[in-house]
Amino acid sequence: VPDSIRISPTLTLPPDAVTQTFAFLARRGAGKSYGAMKLAEGMLDAEAQIVALDPVGVWYSLRIAADGKGKGYDLLILGGLHGDIPLEPGGGAFIADLIVDRGISAVIDVSHFRKNDRKRFATDFAEQLFHRKKARRSPLHLFVEEAQVFVPQRAMGDEARMLGAFEDIIKLGRNFGIGATLISQRPQAVNKDALNQTEALFVLQTNGSQERKALEAWIVEQGVESKTIVDELPGLPIGTAYLWSPSWLRKLEKVEIGKRRTYNASATPVAGQERVEPRPLSRDEMAKVKDDMAATIERAKADDPKALRAEIIGLKKQLATAGTADPAEVRQLRDRVAELEARPPERVDVPVLRDGEVAALGAVAETLNAAVEAIVGGLNRIVATRHVAGPIPARQAPVARREPPRPTECAPTRREAPQRAANASRDDRRFRAGARRILQACAQFPDRGVTKPQIVALAKVKAGGTFSTYFGELTAAGFVKVHGGRCFATSDGLAYLGGDVPPIPRTVDDVISRWREEFRDGARRMLDVIVEAHPHPVSRADLSVRARVANGGTFSTYLGELKRAELVDENDHGAYLAIAELI
Ligand SMILES: Nc1ncnc2c1ncn2[C@@H]1O[C@H](COP(=O)(O)OP(=O)(O)O)[C@@H](O)[C@H]1O
Ligand SMILES: [Mg+2]
Run of H or E including 574: strand 574-577
The ligand with the least distance to the CA atom of 31 is: 1
Q: How many Å apart are CA 66 and CA 59, to the nearest integer?
A: 13
Contact 22, 201 (CB under 8 A): yes
For the CA of 206, the nearest ligand: 1
pLDDT band (50, 70, 90) for residue 304? low
What pLDDT score does 517 carry? 86
Calpha distance 430→428 (Å, rounded): 5
Interatomic CA distance for residues 202 and 1, integer angstroms: 25
- Measured in whole angstroms, how far is the alpha carbon of residue 164 from the centre of its chain? 24
Q: Which atom of ligand 1 is nearest to the CA of 56?
A: 21
Q: Residue 159: its pLDDT value, please? A: 92
- pLDDT digit string, tens, across residues 102-147: 888 999 999 989 889 999 999 999 999 999 998 888 899 999 999 9
How far apart CA 546 and CA 537 sit, in angstroms, is 13
Q: How far is the CA of 6 from the centre of ligand 1 (A)?
A: 17
Q: Over the stretch 41-94, which tens digit does the pLDDT of each residue have?
A: 999 999 999 999 999 999 999 999 998 888 899 899 999 888 888 888 889 999
Q: How far apart are CA 517 and CA 521, in angstroms?
A: 9
Q: What is the mean pLDDT of residues 511-524?
A: 88
**pLDDT at residue 173, as a whole number:** 92
- Our CA angle for 370, 374, 379, nearest 5°, is 150
Between CA 22 and CA 280 the distance in angstroms is 30
512 contact partners, CB below 8 Å, separation of at least 6: 527, 531
CA dist., res. 72 & res. 278, Å (int): 9
Distances in Å between the alpha carbon of 348 and those of 167, 218, 256, 433?
25, 37, 48, 54
The two beta strands, 140-144 and 574-577, are unpaired
pLDDT band at 307 (very low <50, low <70, confident <90, very high): low
- CA 274 from chain centre, in angstroms, equals 26
238 lines ligand 1 (CB under 6 A): yes
Nearest CA to ligand 1 atom 5: 239
Q: How far apart are CA 38 and CA 44, in angstroms?
A: 10
Q: Dump pLDDT digits (tens) for 178-209.
A: 999 999 999 999 999 999 999 999 999 999 99
- Choose the most confident range, by mean pLDDT, from 48-57, 225-234, 418-427, 534-543: 48-57
Of 173, 190, 245, nearest to 25 by C-alpha is 190
Over residues 344-368, the mean pLDDT reads 48
Cα four-point dihedral sign 445, 449, 453, 455: positive
Q: What angle do CA 423, 424, 429 make, to 5 degrees?
A: 105
Average pLDDT, the chain: 80
**Alpha carbon separation from 87 to 93, 94, 128, 224, 520 (Å, rounded):** 12, 10, 16, 43, 30
Cα–Cα distance between 416 and 435 in angstroms, integer?
24
108 membership: H or E segment, kind and range: strand 106-109
Question: For residue 501, what pLDDT band results from cuts at 50, 70 and 90?
Answer: confident
pLDDT of residue 384: 53
Q: Quote the percentage of the chain above a pLDDT of 90.
A: 42
pTM over 0.75: no
| pLDDT value for 88 | 87
DSSP assignment of 497-543 equals: HTT--PPPP-SHHHHHHHHHTTS-HHHHHHHHHHHHHTTS-B-HHHH
163-177, 314-328, 501-515, 539-553, range with the lowest pLDDT: 314-328
- If one residue of 238, 542, 543 were mutated to test the ligand 1 pocket, choosing by the most ligand atoms within 8 A of its CB, it would be 238
Q: Is the peptide bond before 505 cis (omega within 30 degrees of 0)?
A: no
| pLDDT confidence tier of residue 535, bands split at 50, 70 and 90 | confident
Cα of 8 vs centre of ligand 1, distance in Å, is: 14
CB 30 less than 6 A from any atom of ligand 1 = yes
Q: Return the SS3 of 566.
A: coil
| 3-state SS assignment for residue 146 | coil
Whole-number Å distance between alpha carbons of 453 and 485: 11
Q: What is the CA radius of gyration of the chain?
A: 31
- Contact between 444 and 504 under an 8 Å Cβ cutoff? The reply is yes
Distance 124 CA to ligand 1 centre (A): 31
Evaluate whether 166 touches 151 at the Cβ level (below 8 Å): yes
Ligand 1 pocket, 186 CB below 6 A?
no
CA pair distance 276, 258, nearest whole angstrom: 23
Going by alpha carbons, the residue nearest to atom 15 of ligand 1 is 31
Closest Cα to atom 7, ligand 1: which residue?
A: 239
| Ligand having the closest approach to the CA of 34 | 1
Give kind and range of the element (H or E) at residue 221.
helix 209-221
Which pLDDT does position 516 carry in this prediction?
A: 87
Lowest-confidence segment of 60-74, 362-376, 480-494, 515-529 by average pLDDT: 362-376
* Smallest CA separation from ligand 1 atom 10, residue: 31
Decide: residue 573, CB within 10 A, 0-12 exposed, 13-18 middle, 19+ buried: middle
What are the residues whose beta carbons fall under 8 Å from the beta carbon of 355, sequence distance 6 or more?
A: none
Separation of alpha carbons 247 and 203, rounded Å: 17
Q: For residue 101, is pLDDT > 90?
A: no
Q: Model confidence over 247-286: pLDDT tens digits? A: 999 998 999 999 999 998 876 544 444 444 434 456 676 6
